[in-house]
Amino acid sequence: MGTKKFKLLKSEKINHNGHTLYRIQALKDFSDVKKGDVGGWVEKEENLSHKGNCWIYNSAKAYDDSKVFEDAKIMDYAEVFGQARVSGQSLIQNHARVFDGAIVTCRSFLRDYSYACGEARLLGNVELTDSAMMCGNSCVHGNIIARDKVVICGNVEIWDRAIFLGDAYISRKTDYYCGCEFMDNGYPFTYTRSNDMWQNINTYGTREDFLKTLNKIVPYKVPFYTKVMDFVEDLLNDSNCSTHQA
């Protein structure tokens, strides 16, 4: 395994959810960590890899049979437990939780009170913030943003670029439609069926509110979105429609 990069401070331990956790201390310099720096808490050495630049900071915790490896960072009061795996350049911070058999990798980012649990897989530049949750066997790839109280669950698989806001509930492909603008930087937009809302990086609301806001800030986009909305409404009225993703 090579040189160890941290040790458990047996003199500093706490009981957390029925597990005895130990404070970690760096044994060498790596990334932004200096030899002697004190980090967060683990139950055993296997919770944090000695390879790569991964680290657990502040009061963050990793326990059970969870694993933090590669260049992942767990910060603040975040927790990783169960059989969860956090890797790549992922960042888990604030009060976010990754547990059960969830996998978070690549450049995924969880913060605030967001959760990834069940067998959820976050593969790419995935952002879960506020109280957003991924659970079940859901899987997201690419550049996905889920904020507020969004729930992504079931067996749904989402690709490429999409943004989900508000209290949207996504459990199957027919629960949403996503695409990209054919102008400017090709920003993603999404329609979510559960709350009948349209959203892009700057605007969120019902069809009427969304178009009103666009008309004030970027009126040249209104014709494009009007056509897209008409198209999506036709899809929703089509009993043979099997997906709303484009």
pLDDT of the chain along its 246 residues, tens only?
A: 568 999 999 999 999 999 999 999 999 999 999 999 999 999 999 999 999 999 999 999 999 999 999 999 999 999 999 999 999 999 999 999 999 999 999 999 999 999 999 999 999 999 999 999 999 999 999 999 999 999 999 999 998 889 999 999 999 988 999 999 877 678 899 999 999 999 998 899 999 999 999 999 999 999 999 999 999 988 877 744 544 444
What single string gives the DSSP state of each residue in the chain?
--S--EEEEEEEEEEETTEEEEEEEESS-BTTB-TT-EEEEESSGGGB-SSTT-EE-TT-EE-TT-EE-TT-EE-TT-EE-TT-EE-TT-EE-TT-EE-TT-EEEET-EE-TT-EE-TT-EEEEEEEE-TT-EE-TT-EEEEEEEE-TT-EE-TT-EE-SEEEE-TT-EESSGGGEEEEE-SSTT--EEEEETTTTEEEESS-EE-HHHHHHHHHHH-GGGHHHHHHHHHHHHHHHT-TT----B-
- Say which residues have a Cβ less than 8 Å from residue 22's Cβ, sequence separation at least 6: 8, 9, 10, 12, 13, 41, 42, 43
Distance between CA 71 and CA 213 in Å, rounded?
Answer: 41
Reported as half-sphere exposure (CB side, CA atoms, 13 A), residue 36 has a value of 0
The confidence score (pLDDT) of residue 202 equals 84
- Which residue type occupies 140? V
pLDDT, tens digit, for every residue of 143-159? 999 999 999 999 999 98
Distance between CA 128 and CA 20 in Å, rounded?
Answer: 29
For 30, 82, 101, 131, 205, the CA distances from 71, given in Å and listed in that order, are: 11, 20, 20, 25, 37
pLDDT, tens digit, for every residue of 201-222? 889 999 999 999 999 999 999 9
